[in-house]
């Protein structure tokens, strides 16, 4: 194979990003099992050889694309309450009440990535991960990210006396919250997702009852 023309790191990164974006779009449209290198190449206006040059194989491309998507979701989870606290003039993550941060997190949930794309990729990822250990690690990482975020807030609220758990453990409260978020994702894929405002209200009202605010 002849060497490719030299290009800047920025150009290389731009091509990789375009290929990954095209792959995620293809996953949303067809599901990961049906995505072919030729589909992605056509969508991004590159040759199959170029796609292979950057990612090696179809499996490598899918794994990398889903890993990048997973990292984006995790970053959104980690940043959502901090960013919203900053918008309200808070100087540290702990400067506002646990209840306020929990509610602000729920308001931010629909905005973690594009909710429609995030939901479709999540459903496809969970399905494909049943037979792929590499993809299973992506699923586990997302669950761990959601759990870590909400468990930190719940534990702080209990410690400060803001929350009182009635009947459920902290882990069970967090798992219930995540199950509701997953339900919204499934509804989005089916075309029946409620509005972001309704999602936020349902999450907020449910959590307030679970932690006896």
Query: What is the CA 143 to chain-centroid distance, rounded?
Result: 9
Listing DSSP states for 94-135 in one string gives TSS-HHHHHHHHHHHGGGSS-HHHHHHHHHHHHHHGGG-HHH
Q: In sequence order, what E strands does 40-185 have?
A: none
User: What does the pLDDT look like over 81-114, one tens digit per residue?
Assistant: 565 445 444 444 445 789 998 999 998 888 887 7
d(CA 117, CA 121): 6
Q: What is the pTM of this model?
A: 0.80
DSSP, res 211: T
User: What does the pLDDT look like over 18-70, one tens digit per residue?
Assistant: 999 999 999 888 888 889 999 999 999 999 999 999 999 998 899 899 888 88
What pLDDT shows up at residue 93? 45
Residue 42 to residues 1, 39, 199, 203: CA-CA distances in angstroms? 22, 5, 37, 41
What pLDDT shows up at residue 115? 84
User: What does the pLDDT look like over 105-148, one tens digit per residue?
Assistant: 998 888 887 788 889 899 988 888 888 888 888 899 999 999 99
Q: Are 37 and 62 in contact (CB under 8 A)?
A: no
Reading the block at residue 61, the tokens are 């491309």
DSSP, res 12: H
User: How many residues are there in the chain?
Assistant: 213
- Residue tagged 């307030």 (tokens): 208
191: left (phi over 0), alpha (psi -120 to 50) or beta: left
Q: Out of 3-7, 124-128, 175-179, 190-194, give the one with best mean pLDDT.
A: 175-179
Mean pLDDT of 159-174: 92
Q: Are 55 and 61 in contact (CB under 8 A)?
A: yes
């Amino acid at each position: 194979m002849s060497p490719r023309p030299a290009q800047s790191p920025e150009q290389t990164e731009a091509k990789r990003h375009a290929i990954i974006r095209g792959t995620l779009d293809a996953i949303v449209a067809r599901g990961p099992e049906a995505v072919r290198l030729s589909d992605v190449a056509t969508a991004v206006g590159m040759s199959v050889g170029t796609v292979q040059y950057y990612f090696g194989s179809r499996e490598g491309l899918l794994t990398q694309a889903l890993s990048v998507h997973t990292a984006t979701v995790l970053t959104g989870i980690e940043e959502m309450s901090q960013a919203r606290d900053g918008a309200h003039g808070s100087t540290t993550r702990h400067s506002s009440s646990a209840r306020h941060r929990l509610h602000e997190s729920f308001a931010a949930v629909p905005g973690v990535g594009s909710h429609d794309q995030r939901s479709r990729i999540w459903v496809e990822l969970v399905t494909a991960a049943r037979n792929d250990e590499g993809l299973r690690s992506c699923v586990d990482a997302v669950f761990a990210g959601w759990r870590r975020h909400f468990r930190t807030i719940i534990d702080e609220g209990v410690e400060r006396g803001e929350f009182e758990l009635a009947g459920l453990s902290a882990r069970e409260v967090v798992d219930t919250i995540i199950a509701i978020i997953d339900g919204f994702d499934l509804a989005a894929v089916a075309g029946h997702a409620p509005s972001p405002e309704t999602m936020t209200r349902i999450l907020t009202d449910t959590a307030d009852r679970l932690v006896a605010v």
